Structure 1
């Protein structure tokens, strides 16, 4: 089976381990009525949720991961950035918890999401702003920067590489290591684990294996912060399943050199996105800095904030000084 097809099979198997969205709760009501909230029309028929936090010269729009995650795991950004004069904009993408939902599967493509971001930019009146995308949001941030560089003062990608088959192959290797350790504890071996392919791998990914992967490579902070737990509970996993075929084939490598805005690529030592990907991106993007969070995993803004935010602030300040 080709690697891409096998990867799809494996990731599809993992979806049940993701949190499933709850019905609207008290936090939903509070968010919809919070100060700074603005619902923005996109595609002429939907509305997406945004919220402005603080006032400042530096405008920062945040793109969450998923697809189907929410802005909520960015809620620790103000405590680190407000004193630096950063005006933050949260935004839930279409089909995320606080925004409109649709069963129309035609909305699930990257070019449409890029246009959604542009409509959000227009609705917020942002010009010469900074765009930070995390994970899936990082894919969108790169795509947006390639099409609409004139609106950006700076680009930040967080815990995302440049080619899905590359960083997902590393994720497979990390799962294989965990499966091997779990088998050894039971006095067993899994012959051919490194060569059996991703299709067979799914049979060995138990809830215990998935839990260990999460604690090693997704969120190393224990206990998980309540804000993060709330965000995870609001993920709508069905949308991630719809987008999987597109996500596993995503390849931005040939366009890295086309990125024009000053760029910071943030990686993490324990993430499934290999640090080599981050180094490669730094070399290929013309005006690019890179930073590896030495204690972080996929959500480094939570499990390594002492390194994540100073690196982000340094980039913002340096870019501002250059004008």
Structure 2
């Protein structure tokens, strides 16, 4: 069901489950600039509560928007919360969505029942070890091909190839990584590179002290979930968690950036325990 924000941007939304005494859940997708593809997470929880998903402004099935800031995205979440009729929500953010979830909880503390920080990047220099691990997981030919496809005009087949080469290194199971990345890449929706550059550019200039400072103000409980096979270093996520007063940390064994691929039952257990 579409929803229009206060500045007139139409957002695609999806809702499953039924309202119960448990906190309602809102899932925040990654990117920035991608789309919601998290029905698998909703299925893990929507027998316990109502679960909402949406495509962020300018992304996926939502309407276009030139305004791409973390503050505006957090405001969109709160407008959706009010539209859905909830006083407080549990926000589950994956990858970029994890940072957005923390931003929301810090910006709207009265309306955040809790946060799940799933596969985020943490603070400090996470880029150096991340790119080193990504390079290690690629062959020289794959690296050369990705470089050739980056920044060029691509056919649809080349776009799928670009996405696969960009994403397959995030999976811990090397035997399935290309297959899973192919499934993710085949979604017939465009990547919003404007949103990606604008939001990544904003976050990349945040000093660690700023991120740690607003994280320290979050009074809601924060659950950190990270795969030990995610190329994004867990040490950077632990460094961020140390600044949050009420948090728990779950390192999932043999799991990558999308732990519902490799450890679905363990992830389901952690998410359901968090909701309860």
For Structure 1 versus Structure 2, the TM-score category normalised by the shorter chain is 0.7 to 0.9
**Secondary structure at 1:224 match in 2:** helix
Match of 1:215 in 2: 168
- The structural deviation recorded for 1:128 is 2.0
Normalising by structure 1, we get a TM-score of 0.70
Match of 2:143 in 1: 205
Segments of 5+ residues of structure 1 without an aligned counterpart are: 1-36, 187-203, 318-323
Match of 1:76 in 2: 40
Within-5 A mapping of 1:173-192: 173-178=132-137, 182=139
Q: Contact 2:134/2:169 (CA < 8 Å) preserved in 1?
A: no
Residues 1:271 and 2:230 are matched in the alignment: yes
Match of 2:156 in 1: none
Match of 2:122 in 1: 162
Instruction: Kindly provide the CA deviation profile for residues 99-131 of structure 1, in whole angstroms up to 9, marking residues without a partner as x.
Output: 1013x3xx1211111111111111111222211
Distance (Å, rounded) in 2 between the aligned partners of 1:101 and 1:112: 14
Distance (Å, rounded) in 2 between the aligned partners of 1:273 and 1:244: 16
- The structural deviation recorded for 1:266 is 1.0
Q: Contact 1:265/1:281 (CA < 8 Å) preserved in 2?
A: no
Distance (Å, rounded) in 1 between the aligned partners of 2:72 and 2:58: 13
* Root mean square deviation of aligned Cα: 2.6
- The structural deviation recorded for 1:238 is 2.0
Match of 1:248 in 2: 204
Distance (Å, rounded) in 1 between the aligned partners of 2:94 and 2:190: 15
- The structural deviation recorded for 1:62 is 0.5
Q: Contact 1:216/1:270 (CA < 8 Å) preserved in 2?
A: no
Segments of 5+ residues of structure 2 without an aligned counterpart are: 148-161
- The structural deviation recorded for 1:241 is 3.1
Residues 1:93 and 2:56 are matched in the alignment: yes
Residues 1:132 and 2:92 are matched in the alignment: yes
Task: Sort the Cα spacing of 1:217 and 1:227 in 2 relative to 1 into closer, same or farther, 3 A.
Answer: closer
Instruction: Kindly provide the CA deviation profile for residues 5-50 of structure 1, in whole angstroms up to 9, marking residues without a partner as x.
Output: xxxxxxxxxxxxxxxxxxxxxxxxxxxxxxxx2x222132211111
| Matched positions, count | 252
Normalising by structure 2, we get a TM-score of 0.81
**Secondary structure at 2:214 match in 1:** helix
Q: Contact 1:267/1:292 (CA < 8 Å) preserved in 2?
A: yes
**Secondary structure at 2:248 match in 1:** strand
Distance (Å, rounded) in 2 between the aligned partners of 1:300 and 1:139: 18
Residues 1:238 and 2:201 are matched in the alignment: no
Task: Sort the Cα spacing of 1:175 and 1:76 in 2 relative to 1 into closer, same or farther, 3 A.
Answer: closer
